[in-house]
Structure 1
Amino acid sequence: MSEFDEGTAVVRRPDEAVDSSVFDTELDKGWQIGGGINGGLLLSLAARSIGEHFAAARGLHPYPVSVSGYYVSASRPGPAELRVETVRAARSHSTGQASLLQADDEGRTLERLRVLAHFGDLARADEDVRTSATPPKLPPVEQCVGTEHAPPEFLASANMLERIDLRLDPAYVGWALGKPSGEGRIQGWFRLADGREPDPLSLLFALDALPPVTFDLGLFGWTPTVELTAHIRALPAPGWLRITHSTRNLAGGYLEEDCEIWDSRDRLVAQSRQLAVVPR
């Protein structure tokens, strides 16, 4: 089993009602970044629990198409549970929701993340593609910069970087040398370090796997996500993914971060937008 599949593994409690399920999971510190577990990993975990709930309930649609998550509090390594409900099951799509909960040091149960997700069958997606979007122009993988060149204070709290192979475009890594471009963009090549090929669940993780775009604005530190909405547009082809991450508006203590993922066939396979808090 891959590290990603282990990190998003869930166990369904028996004898649950057909329209609701409770899953147990363990949040591994190897997916920690900044002040908590990576938000994309948590989104993948919630989507897996909804998908497995659908499979157990009615064998419903297998793939996440649209997933929105609200990050209520910072998750930490340790046991957690997911409470999943069917919102609506229809012929072409099914909708479910999940809440991720953990106990704090005083034994109180806190909600960490709440997700609403729309599932469908991407394997049956129409091949009619009409788009003006174009994949990013990146240097070859071997000419890009590994994450070991990130600021030391970032690496010290970024265990997750050991589980990904990320090669960043040199045009947007000046921040590692104290010379950010100021454009608010980070982009590069991505794959999981253990060679696991991409699928819809790992795309949800990859959408939040790059360093914060605030680095390219000269702002370092934890950039916690408030809300993240992801759209999975197609089943990805095997191989490296190309990811672009950018912002156009930092104001009032928040910024938006827009992400696109392109696969090895030059297909736009995932998009997202998140609202995040500006580092202090």
Structure 2
Amino acid sequence: MHELTPVLSTVTASFLASFVEVVEAFTIVLAVGVTRGWRPALTGAASALAVLAALVLAFGPLLALVPITLLQFVVGVLLVLFGMRWLRKAILRSAGVIALRDEEAAFSRETDALSRQANDRRAGYLAGVAAFKAVLLEGVEVVFIVIAVGAAHGQTLQAGFGALAAVVLVMLIGLAVHRPLARVPENALKFAVGLMLTSFGVFWTGEGLGAEWPGEDFALLAIFAIIAAASLAMVRWLRNSCAAPAEGIAR
């Protein structure tokens, strides 16, 4: 069980983070396919995947040249920053400070924009570029997460399997329903991913600095619980803060 804990946490973090990113990219690719045809949609998506594969092949082997403690520290700091960005948005959305992301609305905006380009001679090219940008931008985050959560403990392959499973699952569901995956609890997933990435970051930053965590890998669970409790308390505080002015106005 002790050996399975880091593997399961790595695969889970990679799967959930990749699932969220792939859902967002799929919405754009689907809009391109429905509006301008599947040829530019699939061409743009495939081109982006090729670029991402080249990035992994180019930079992946370089990680083996970095001392493990330095790698853990750098990856840990980056994961804290990256995870906190996800966590901040998830907290604000959960508290009602900013609106939840709506995949149906995003799909409508993209199809409207593509429809307005119908008379443009470059319509097919622009549609392909839209699919390319969507897959590349979301894919870069997936690649970073896979490398980051896997590299510090030599589990890049396991993290890659988690990401691949997310891609396959989204593609199968999306192609089956042929519509945006609007019912996916995206903010809840982003909240969980933010917690996991931040927890990994804190843990690996400590390891990179030479800290010995009580319980070794099991310390991840304690770090996760502390960050989750603090985040939920912040959501409650923000909700109460937003509700107080509204009650004052109502009176």
Give the alignment's TM-score, normalised by structure 2: 0.22
Give the alignment's TM-score, normalised by structure 1: 0.21
Q: Greater strand share, 1 or 2?
A: 1
**Which structure has the greater CA radius of gyration?**
2
Considering Cα pairs closer than 8 Å and 6+ residues apart, tell me whether 1 or 2 has the greater RCO.
Answer: 2
